[in-house]
Structure 1
Amino acid sequence: LEVVEGMQFDRGYLSPYFVTNAEKMVADLDDPYILIHEKKLSNLQSLLPVLEAVVQSGKPLLIIAEDVEGEALATLVVNKLRGGLKIAAVKAPGFGDRRKAMLEDIAILTSGQVISEDVGIKLENVTLDMLGRAKKVNISKENTTIIDGAGQKSEITARVNQIKAQIEETTSDYDREKLQERLAKLAGGVAVIRVGGATEVEVKEKKDRVDDALNATRAAVEEGIVAGGGTALLRAANALTVKGSNPDQEA
Structure 2
Amino acid sequence: METATKQETLKDRFISAFIKFSKIVTSTMGPYGRNVLIRKSNGMHHSTKDGVTVANDLSSEDEIEQMACDMIKEVANLTAEQVGDGTTTSICLASSLLESIQRLDEDSYNVHELREEIINESEIVIKNLINNSHKEINEFAIKSVAGIASNGNKEIVTILSDIFSQTNGDATVNVKKWIGDKIKYEVIDGYKMNSGYAHPAMITDKLKNEVYYQDSVLFSTNLLIGSAHNLKSILDAASTFHSSIESLVIVCDVIEDSAIGFAVDLIQKTNLKITIIKAPEMGVHRKNIIEDVALLSGAKKIAMIENGSTLSNLTKDHFGKCKSFLATKNTSVFSIEQRTEDVENKIRQLEIDKENSANDILRQQISNRINSLKGKIANIFVGKPSEVETKELKDRMDDAVASVKSLYVHGYTIGCGFSFFNAITHSADSNGRIILNNALMSVTQQIFENRGFYGIELAFRDGAKSSYRDLKDTEKIHSEKSLLSHGIIDSTEVLVRAIRNAVSVVGTILVTKHIIKGYVEDDLFKQR
- Note closer, same or farther for the CA distance 1:179–1:52 as it changes in structure 2 (3 Å cut): same
- Tell me which stretches of 4 or more aligned residues in structure 1 moved more than 6 Å: 248-251
- The residue number in structure 1 matching 2:222 is 38
Q: Is the 8 A contact 2:322 2:334 kept in 1?
A: yes
CA distance, structure 1, for counterparts of residue 380 and residue 362 of structure 2: 34
Q: Is the 8 A contact 1:11 1:144 kept in 2?
A: yes
- The residue number in structure 2 matching 1:157 is 344
CA distance, structure 2, for counterparts of residue 128 and residue 147 of structure 1: 20
- The residue number in structure 1 matching 2:313 is 125
Which amino acid letter does the alignment assign opposite residue 190 of structure 1? I
- The residue number in structure 1 matching 2:202 is 18
Which amino acid letter does the alignment assign opposite residue 208 of structure 1? D
- The residue number in structure 2 matching 1:80 is 267
Q: Is the 8 A contact 2:217 2:245 kept in 1?
A: no
- Note closer, same or farther for the CA distance 1:244–1:179 as it changes in structure 2 (3 Å cut): closer
1:95 is displaced (CA, Å) by 2.1
1:244 is displaced (CA, Å) by 8.3
Identity, in percent, stands at: 26
SS in 1 for 2:323: strand
- The residue number in structure 2 matching 1:139 is 327
CA distance, structure 1, for counterparts of residue 265 and residue 410 of structure 2: 40
Q: Is the 8 A contact 2:211 2:326 kept in 1?
A: yes
1:31 is displaced (CA, Å) by 0.9
Q: Which ranges of structure 1 fall in alignment gaps of 5 or more residues?
A: none
- The residue number in structure 2 matching 1:233 is 420
Q: Is the 8 A contact 1:60 1:86 kept in 2?
A: yes
- Note closer, same or farther for the CA distance 1:48–1:226 as it changes in structure 2 (3 Å cut): same
- Note closer, same or farther for the CA distance 1:148–1:203 as it changes in structure 2 (3 Å cut): farther
CA distance, structure 2, for counterparts of residue 142 and residue 219 of structure 1: 19
Q: Cα deviations across residues 172-222 of structure 1 (Å, max 9, x unaligned)?
A: 222111111111111132122243323344333322322222222334433
SS in 1 for 2:382: coil
CA distance, structure 2, for counterparts of residue 77 and residue 128 of structure 1: 25
- The residue number in structure 1 matching 2:374 is 187
1:225 is displaced (CA, Å) by 4.6
Give the structure-2-normalised TM-score: 0.43
CA distance, structure 2, for counterparts of residue 223 and residue 19 of structure 1: 34
- The residue number in structure 2 matching 1:51 is 235
Give the structure-1-normalised TM-score: 0.86
Q: Is the 8 A contact 2:219 2:294 kept in 1?
A: no
1:224 is displaced (CA, Å) by 5.2
CA distance, structure 2, for counterparts of residue 51 and residue 124 of structure 1: 11
SS in 1 for 2:374: helix
CA distance, structure 2, for counterparts of residue 142 and residue 89 of structure 1: 13
Q: Is the 8 A contact 1:66 1:92 kept in 2?
A: yes
1:53 is displaced (CA, Å) by 4.9
Q: Is the 8 A contact 2:222 2:254 kept in 1?
A: no
- Note closer, same or farther for the CA distance 1:35–1:244 as it changes in structure 2 (3 Å cut): closer
SS in 1 for 2:334: strand
Q: Cα deviations across residues 118-156 of structure 1 (Å, max 9, x unaligned)?
A: 31321111134421101111001111100125652x222
Structure index of larger Rg = 2
- The residue number in structure 1 matching 2:397 is 210
Q: Which ranges of structure 2 fall in alignment gaps of 5 or more residues?
A: 1-184, 439-528
Instruction: Tell me, yes or no, if structure 1 residue 106 matches structure 2 residue 290.
Output: no
Q: Is the 8 A contact 1:54 1:60 kept in 2?
A: no
Work out the number of aligned pairs and report it.
247
CA distance, structure 2, for counterparts of residue 121 and residue 243 of structure 1: 70
Instruction: Tell me, yes or no, if structure 1 residue 28 matches structure 2 residue 212.
Output: yes
> Alignment partner for residue 251 of structure 2, among 64, 81, 87?
64
SS in 2 for 1:125: coil
CA distance, structure 2, for counterparts of residue 79 and residue 102 of structure 1: 27
Q: Is the 8 A contact 2:223 2:311 kept in 1?
A: no
SS in 2 for 1:123: coil
Q: Is the 8 A contact 1:14 1:90 kept in 2?
A: yes
Q: Is the 8 A contact 2:191 2:376 kept in 1?
A: yes
Q: Cα deviations across residues 48-90 of structure 1 (Å, max 9, x unaligned)?
A: 2441354553320011001322100111112112234210011
Q: Is the 8 A contact 2:215 2:322 kept in 1?
A: yes
SS in 2 for 1:218: helix
SS in 2 for 1:163: helix
CA distance, structure 2, for counterparts of residue 48 and residue 186 of structure 1: 30
SS in 1 for 2:421: helix
CA distance, structure 2, for counterparts of residue 146 and residue 162 of structure 1: 23
CA distance, structure 1, for counterparts of residue 306 and residue 204 of structure 2: 35
1:35 is displaced (CA, Å) by 1.0
Which amino acid letter does the alignment assign opposite residue 2 of structure 1? E
CA distance, structure 2, for counterparts of residue 241 and residue 73 of structure 1: 59
